[in-house]
Structure 1
Amino acid sequence: MITKMSLEKSNCRRLLKEDLDKPCKELAMYLLGKILVRKLEDDKILKGRIVETESYLGGEDKGSHSYSGRRTQANEPMYMPAGTAYVYMTYGMYHCFNISSKEPGAAVLLRALEPISGIETMQKFRVRKVKSIQNEIKTTKLCDGPSKLCISMNITKQNLNKIDLTDLKNDKMWLEDDPDIDKEIRIVHTSRIGIASAGVEWTIKPLRFYILNNDSISKRDKAAEEELDFDIH
């Protein structure tokens, strides 16, 4: 399946609560092409274009941390207002970053970014985390996965969990429109990654979305791309 989305030019407008107050699947697609901005303690600015997302619907979604209404101290941000950062640890050592949506218990996982600025700093964060890295990482590979994204942007549960991305007083991390995109983007709909334990039904649902032909996505679904009708409106 494919959709086309028109992205209007802007002057780096910061996204507000009303921009993100959308149902989870809609938000996951809306975020594609938007800019994630991270301001570090030394005032350095890192920016990346969101190119891949996954929707976790809560409720009946067996892949969601809030499946069947499960509510804990850890997943509390999923029940907070739209635009709240939900950062959790996986494998006891890596972080993943989500944004809560309109429905309680639902959130969008950011899977990949296309680095835009602060790339040298992103490189340093990646090398510092993985000592075995000897050579400079290709720019398109800096944020091509949810944990790589968090390492490169210095996103951890300790420093950014539960922050409101739409709060204008928050100067740690926020979202912006992309001033450099003024054309339609094509969005590939495919299955999520790494949730086999949720069962076949929820593993194969097309709840992962990415920008077609972008070099920074975590994993292409060539079969899905080949089946796309590129003339659909």
Structure 2
Amino acid sequence: MKLTKSDFNLSCIEMGHFLLGKVLVRRLENNVIIKGKIVETECYLGGIDKASHSFGGRRTARNEAMFMPAGTAYVYMTYGMYYCFNISSKELGAAVLIRSLEPIQGIEKIEELRKMKMKNKISAKKFKTTELCNGPSKLCIGLDIRKDNLNRVDLCENDMLWLESPIDETDFTLVTCARIGIASCGEEWANKPLRFYIYQNLNVSKRDKKAEKYMESITL
């Protein structure tokens, strides 16, 4: 079942939890459908968060999607060549980064898109399925999510990119840990537990073994 606007009416952290296990669906221009289960998210809390593009209330043409209604796609370029895909929450300027997917449909197409991005296409390696979307930029390449085609798209009001509830919803254990790659924002915000992933899922971009060990000691 496709998620509706009411499903996205959540705070950033609530959405970071809620999106795990949901299915991201991408319809390409040739009507090929790609689906992947969200297995890792990362929250950026808006004006108070030194790692957020909207820290201090900063609002620009680049980050405008972070201020749009909950459930809006925010796609931005990083390192001048890769894209990252986020979803706005109900909190002003706050959004959830989708870090990793578990491919479940259109796997051959995902691999084709990944290889097209590689410089040496002839000798491009054979990807493991778990390597196809195990990172924010990898999943954007694999689903052809770019700033020019999907930024500011309402995920409830279009037929190119949307989210669904899984057909077979299964229980999973949630790992909570620090975000990745934001050390320059200072120790306080770099260490805040704002990354979430599905325990023991092989498609996660990077395990936090310390957080897993602690989680195991109190829950397993």
Task: Name the structure 2 match of 1:81.
Answer: 69
SS of residue paired to 2:172: strand
Deviations 1:10-47 (Å, cap 9, x if unpaired)?
Answer: xxx10000001100000011000000000000000000
For the aligned residues, what is the CA RMSD? 1.2
- Aligned identity (percent) is 58
Deviations 1:55-76 (Å, cap 9, x if unpaired)?
Answer: 0001110000000100001000
- 24, 36, 40: which one aligns with 2:28: 40
User: Structure 1 residue 23 and structure 2 residue 11: aligned?
Assistant: yes
**Does the Cα contact within 8 Å between 2:74 and 2:151 map onto a contact in 1?**
yes
- 1:1-233 correspondence to structure 2 within 5 Å: 13-132=1-120, 134-167=124-157, 170-181=158-169, 183-229=170-216, 232=219
Return the alpha-carbon distance in structure 2 between the equivalents of residues 129 and 180 of structure 1.
33
SS of residue paired to 1:81: coil
Give the TM-score taking structure 1 as reference length. Answer: 0.91
Return the alpha-carbon distance in structure 2 between the equivalents of residues 228 and 190 of structure 1.
10
Unaligned runs of 5+ in 2: none
Shift in Å at residue 180 of structure 1? 2.0
**Does the Cα contact within 8 Å between 2:49 and 2:189 map onto a contact in 1?**
yes
SS of residue paired to 1:110: strand
Return the alpha-carbon distance in structure 1 between the equivalents of residues 117 and 7 of structure 2.
34
Bigger proportion of residues as helix: 2
Query: Which of structures 1 and 2 has the larger relative contact order (alpha carbons within 8 angstroms, sep 6+)?
Result: 1
Return the alpha-carbon distance in structure 2 between the equivalents of residues 101 and 219 of structure 1.
24
SS of residue paired to 1:83: coil
Shift in Å at residue 232 of structure 1? 3.9
Letter in 1 for 2:21: G
Shift in Å at residue 135 of structure 1? 1.9
Return the alpha-carbon distance in structure 2 between the equivalents of residues 51 and 172 of structure 1.
21
Deviations 1:88-110 (Å, cap 9, x if unpaired)?
Answer: 00000000000000101000000
SS of residue paired to 1:89: strand
Task: Name the structure 2 match of 1:8.
Answer: none
* Structure 1 segments of 4+ aligned residues over 3 angstroms from their partners: 229-233
Letter in 1 for 2:203: S
- Which has the higher mean CA deviation after the structures are superposed, 131-140 or 81-90? 131-140
Shift in Å at residue 231 of structure 1? 6.0
Equivalent residue pairs, number: 218
Return the alpha-carbon distance in structure 1 between the equivalents of residues 218 and 211 of structure 2.
15
Return the alpha-carbon distance in structure 1 between the equivalents of residues 39 and 117 of structure 2.
23
Letter in 2 for 1:71: R
Deviations 1:154-191 (Å, cap 9, x if unpaired)?
Answer: 00000000000011xx100000000122x321110000
